[in-house]
Structure 1
């Protein structure tokens, strides 16, 4: 048994860690002076809030530094099966992309079979929302990409938001095209699947969104001027008190099935320091007996770098 400092998702606390049935487990007991301190700090496995598991080798999640992933677009039946069986990483999902008839990504070859529901009217919206809820979705994904095709009109978008709320589900919106990030926020989206990248939002819009919308970063999927726009938006949104969540759009091109150094670097560029970065990474509760525990060797709360993290093992607890 060792004394340790751990991150509880908000700040740093003291506890003890021990080996139980071949696994390291954390308790928030007051450490005894008899326990040797662990050389480093502990966090729960990180969360990637934007992945597409059907587009990657999800078996690689085991042994990664991710403790939870949120799939934002795929076949709901396939995702329900993954969520039931994937361990130790927890899988949450939105189910199918909900889009306008002919809207993004209905014409994309990468979209898995069964991954898109085209919403023509309120009846189709009710059917699709009920289907995702029955599959076990924890949120809904609505695409509003005017750069790639038609989008849901305001009234129908609001209808989807209302139906989702009836099932206790927040709406995550893919907003792309001039004015779309502003529009979906106004219509009730709770999260943006991508930090706004089409255009620089003015400070008034930034202030409005901090009150009602969280942004999932996905900064590293962009290059050049588009990334500069996204990073600038995130910098001002974060500085204004907005909630930023780490997300990579895993499956959108080559990237590690793990913590992504390019995304972490982009978040730092946007002004998220050590504690803000850890909060954006939204680690699972390390006190949960089933949680993935990560060790940041030789780190302190002031120097903790998520990229140094590795899975904690019973061998680390030997004195």
Structure 2
């Protein structure tokens, strides 16, 4: 048992981390004055708010420092099966889980949730007929739905909701084909709202980020990269939508989105760490290049940790990670192990 500082999603708190059978649990309670302190501080597993699990070796999530991922474009039936599989099995310590083989069907089951990466998803891209990404070779079968009218829009949103989607993804890429009219876009937003689902938009092309924000989306799947927004536009965005970063995928062309994010953050906008995992080579883990790009955009310390949205480490199903100190680079996080609690 060790006293430990932990990050609860908003700030640093004091608690106690202890071994409970094979599990390591964090309790948010005062520690006895004579209790030894953990060498380091604790955070929960980080969140990648933009991934495409059908395009990566998604099984590798189990060994990663990601506590939660949000898939923003996949065959809904396939990604739903990934999400179900990630929540099967007894709760075990992350430190004791590495190297384990698959559990046989004869092993005793438990009602407790395994410490695995939580998977949320939007299901398929919603796009107009012939719209992005319907012509892309990388788009798996069933990963997009082409919508021709309001009736079909309502039916597709209902389909995504019924498969367990926690949000809706709409493509609005004017550089790669047709985009929805304002009226059609609002129809989708209204249908999603009726099912309690926020809308995330892929906005690409001059003016698209501003247009979809005006039409009621909750988040942009990418920090705007087609143009440098004006300060007034940034202020409007900061008041209405959140941005998923995805800065590193632009490589040497990231100057525009980094500048947009810097001013958006300064204006009080909500930035969420996301990598577009599956878009080119990238680790199935925390992406050091994305973290570096966020720091380039002026996010560091507690604001950077909030952007990474770690799962509350007091949650018994959370991945528990150790950082050397509160101001450490998040890429230095490593899984907590039983050795950390030994005298």
Q: 2:322 aligns with which of 295, 304, 313?
A: 295
SS at match of 2:240: coil
Within a 5 Å distance, the mapping from 1:29-40 to structure 2 comes to 29-40=29-40
Q: 1:190-241 CA deviation, whole Å, 9 max, x = no partner?
A: 00000000000001010011111000000000033x3100000000000000
Quote how far apart the aligned CAs of 1:29 are: 1.0
Offset of residue 317 of structure 1: 0.7
Matches within 5 A, 1:266-277: 266-277=293-304
C-alpha distance in 1 between matches for 2:274 and 2:21 = 33
Answering whether residue 141 of structure 2 is matched by residue 113 of structure 1, we say yes
Q: What is the CA–CA distance in structure 2 between the aligned matches of 1:41 and 1:119, rounded to whole Å?
A: 48
Do 1:144 and 1:176's aligned partners in 2 also have CA atoms closer than 8 Å? Answer: yes
Rounded to whole Å, the distance in 2 between the matches of 1:85 and 1:176 is 33
CA deviation string 1:88-120 (max 9, x = no partner): 000000000000100000011110111110111
1:318 is aligned to: 342
Deviation at 1:285, TM superposition (A): 1.1
Structure 1 segments of 4+ aligned residues over 6 angstroms from their partners: none
Q: Structure 2 CA distance, aligned partners of 1:305 and 1:13? A: 19
| Superposed displacement of residue 304, structure 1 | 2.4
Q: Deviations over 1:261-295 (max 9, x none)?
A: 00000000000011111000000111100110101
Asked if 1:195 corresponds to 2:223, the answer is yes
Structure 1 residues not aligned, in runs of 5+: none
Matches of 1:254 and 1:307 in 2, distance apart? Answer: 18
Contact 1:48 1:69 in 2 (8 A): yes
CA displacement at 1:34 relative to structure 2: 2.0
The SS at the match of 1:124 is helix
The SS at the match of 1:24 is strand
Match of 1:58 in 2: 58
1:77 maps to what in 2?
77
In the TM superposition, what is the alpha-carbon distance from 1:21 to its structure 2 partner? 2.3
Residue 260 of structure 2 corresponds to 233
1:101 pairs with one of 113, 129, 132 = 129
| TM-score scaled by length of structure 2 | 0.91
Partner of 2:96: none
Structure 1 counterpart of 2:182: 154
Q: RMSD value over aligned CA atoms?
A: 0.7
Kept in 2, the 8 Å contact 1:6–1:13? The answer is: yes
Secondary structure of 1:272's counterpart equals: coil
| CA distance in 1 between partners of 2:58 and 2:340 (Å) | 27
What residue number does 1:307 align with?
331
Q: Among 271, 276, 285, which residue is 1:249 paired with? A: 276
**Per-residue deviation at 1:63?**
1.7
Query: Runs of 5+ in structure 2 lacking a partner?
Result: 88-115
1:181 aligns to 2:205 (yes or no): no
